[in-house]
Structure 1
């Protein structure tokens, strides 16, 4: 296959057809989504992690609107100071600024799951959100949404 050649007009020509001012690597055309234009975008671990944090935070905001209306939920890759003797922080709570920061790498990599599948990973992230909000509000995580766990 012939490589693209520069023409005098500054356009790249590929196989004899001139392209209209679009330059890209090796003249192969712009890259598109792997899923194509008609399929939904693929979600990775980071996207699913952030989506789980946000959906759980919105649920808790609905249950505790007055207490959590000004709280910011943020995601960071890892804490600046990782080791604290016997544990690694999974989240940090700052009540003065009304901010909770979740650390993605320790939650995803350091958690011990008895089944490593999507539902158990999601439940682990949700439990971290519940525990962090419990730390912020000074409540037990099970008391944050008592009706959520009553299925009878």
Structure 2
């Protein structure tokens, strides 16, 4: 008997079946790769400035009309150093600069608590400059346990 070939092309390859949940095909697995964090550095910075500003507004009536704002970088200047904040008494504004505070401040321990304390200390020092007071006078009970 003679063998006959019908075609020389191979049969179409089947896609590998992927079994997902409960043995069903073409379903995604239950466990995905780790998701990105829900909050970013910018969100955490905004939260730290906002909570410190709300505390100061509640404790000092002189700060209730002051606008605490966040900017990325200060305008270029010929002064020595890069400012972490700017106090504008005439327009009742305090501007905290995110990038200099985050990148130029030195922490002895890099964790979320110390970063937040550093951001809050900048807000307190900026408010103290606005009020012409010592930063420790603004919230003595807040730092009672440190």
Please indicate, yes or no, whether the TM-score normalized by the shorter chain is above 0.5: yes
8 Å contact from structure 2 (residues 53, 68) kept in 1: yes
* Unmatched segments (≥5 aa) in structure 1: 1-33
Q: How does 1:2-151 map onto structure 2 within 5 Å?
A: 35=35, 42-64=38-60, 66-81=61-76, 84-85=79-80, 87-151=81-145
Which has the higher relative contact order, 1 or 2, with Cα contacts under 8 A spaced 6 or more apart?
2
**Alpha carbons of 1:114 and 1:84: their partners in 2 closer, same or farther (altered >3 Å)?**
same
Aligned residues: 113
SS in 1 for 2:141: helix
SS in 2 for 1:149: coil
How many Å separate the matches in 2 of 1:49 and 1:60? 17
**Alpha carbons of 1:54 and 1:97: their partners in 2 closer, same or farther (altered >3 Å)?**
same
8 Å contact from structure 2 (residues 67, 93) kept in 1: yes
How many Å separate the matches in 2 of 1:150 and 1:52? 19
More strand by share: 1
Q: Which runs of 4+ in 1 moved over 2 A?
A: 149-152
